[in-house]
Amino acid sequence: MSFVHLHLHTQFSLLDGANKIKELMPRVRAAGMPACAVTDHGNMFGAVQFTQEARRHGVQPIIGCEMYVAPQSRFEKAGRIDDYEAGGNYHLILLATNREGYQHLCRLVTAGYQEGFHYKPRVDKELLRELNGGLIA
């Protein structure tokens, strides 16, 4: 039976991930994983490098992101980000299953920075309803 990581952070998850993609892929391959997902916090900065390195090592890349979801609207910029009871952000893992999912993930991350940024890039349920094709949550 094989194991596949579906929630893994790299150096692009600031203050949370320490995995360097070039060092990670040989370890993934050596562990016998046929695939691996990278789900950095609020960004996809390492997606291209991850895809290239995974393919080079014979590992199926799964592109994902750990999104920050605003409790109400992404346009509301009040409240603390780390206090859920006071309206803080929630975390949601999204994985792209195909090209459409990858495109939606890119659009969600972009909107998080352009429209929803409040300490961190955030999306909301409205945006998730609009851009959910090809994604697994």
Q: What are phi and psi of 93, to 5 degrees?
A: -85, 130
Per-residue tens of pLDDT for the chain, all 137 residues: 689 999 999 988 877 778 899 999 999 999 999 999 999 999 999 999 999 999 999 999 999 999 999 988 999 887 665 555 555 678 999 999 999 999 999 999 999 999 999 889 999 999 999 999 999 99
Q: What is the pLDDT of residue 15?
A: 75
How many angstroms separate the Cα of 111 from the Cα of each of 83, 93, 96? 23, 16, 17
Q: Put residue 134 in one of left, alpha, beta given phi > 0 → left and psi -120 to 50 → alpha.
A: left
Tell me the whole-structure pTM to 2 decimals: 0.90
- Domains present along the chain, CATH in parentheses: 21-136 (3.20.20.140)
Neighbours of 54 (CB within 10 A): 24
Nearest to 110 by CA among 50, 47, 27: 47
